[in-house]
Structures are given as C-alpha cells and as structure tokens.
Amino acid sequence: MNRFLSVTAFAICLILGNAAAEAQQWQEYRPDGVGFRVDLPGSPQIEDNTAQAGNNVSKMIVGSIAPSDEIAYIAMYSVFKPSAMDSDPQRSLDGGMRGLTGQGKIRSQKRLTFGTVPARYVVIDMSEKRVGIDLMVMSGNALIQIICIVPTGQEATPTVERIYKSFALVAN
C-alpha cells in the first residue's frame, strides 16, 4: 500500500511548504459528492492535486489551513481507481499505516468505525518538535484524511479536539 504513503507524504509536504493562510472563524468544510464534513478554524485553501497524485488515484482534493510554519490543518480525500483497491478496507488502512511510518514514529493508533466504515486515528512523532495526528477513513474507494500537524505537546488542544470531534460521514 505504498500509494497511501506517497499520497499522504505529498499532501503534508505541499501544505507545510505553504503556510500563508491565516486562521479565521470556524467553518464547516463539506466537499460536494464526497460524503464527509469537518469543522476547520477558518476557510481552507482548496487545491486539486489529482495530476500529482499518481496513476492509482483518479481524484485528490486537499483543503488546508496553515496559520504558521509549525501548524497545519488538512482535510483531504483521494479517490482511488477500483483496480488499485484491496477488497478488504481494513487491509487498505493497514497499508496506509505502514506508509505512515515513513513520516515518523507511530506513537499510538486506534481502530475506529463510523457506522460500518473503518477508520484509524494515528498519532505520529514526526520530529522532536512536530506531531502529526491523522484520521484515515476508508469509505468505498475513497480515502478521507483529517490531518493536524502541530508542535509537540499541542496534540490535545481545544482546536485539535474540535476538528476531530466535528468529523462525520454524511450523505452525498
């Protein structure tokens, strides 16, 4: 499942390289036709990264807010071609977990479900100074990710908690 690693690594590098967006008031981010919603602390910059995502991805959209060089809030989804998917979504998420090890050391992970849809909540020590929190949800052939990258010690701030508590799968 190296395609999960490359998609996630690409998005993280892209967002951290563009930290110009300023956080504003909380807004719901609910992309059309995808089936999820999440509250973000401002209006995300939306980028279509499909062309850079690789042959196994038919669509990749990233919404991001980067209020500083150390902090990024990312809501993204990647729609994979059916031929690239494992028939078992848990195995797809397992592959995504293996891919995350390239981003740093996995501190903790939790298996979750949203109804019958499998998910993982992962905390990654990316460096001595930076932590990534990644909610990965495998809904059909779409991988939805809610990612917060924050300084070490800030992984349980009210902002981070509100983002993850607000996530929900919704009807398309």
pLDDT digits (tens, 9 = 90+) for 143-172: 999 999 999 999 999 999 999 999 999 997
Evaluate if residue 13 carries a pLDDT over 80. Answer: no
Percent of the chain with pLDDT over 70: 86
If pLDDT is split at 50, 70 and 90, which confidence band does 133 have? very high
At 106 the pLDDT is 93
At 107 the pLDDT is 94
Structure-block tokens of residue 37: 């919603």
Long-range contacts of 103-108 (CB under 8 A, 24+ apart): 103/8, 103/9, 103/12, 103/132, 104/132, 107/131
At 29 the pLDDT is 96
Are residues 88 and 138 in contact, defined by beta-carbon separation less than 8 angstroms? no
Distances (CA, A) of 103 to 6, 24, 55, 115: 10, 28, 22, 29
Q: Higher-confidence residue: 4 or 147?
A: 147
Pick the closest to residue 63 from 49, 45, 89 (CA basis): 45
Its pTM stands at: 0.83
Q: CATH for 2-169?
A: 3.40.1000.10
At 8 the pLDDT is 55
Average pLDDT, the chain: 86
Distance (Å, whole) CA 17 – CA 115: 35
Domain boundaries, the chain: 2-169
The mean per-residue pLDDT over the stretch 5-32 comes to 59
The mean per-residue pLDDT over the stretch 130-138 comes to 96
The string of pLDDT tens digits covering residues 30-80 is 998 889 999 999 999 999 998 888 888 889 999 999 999 999 999 999 998
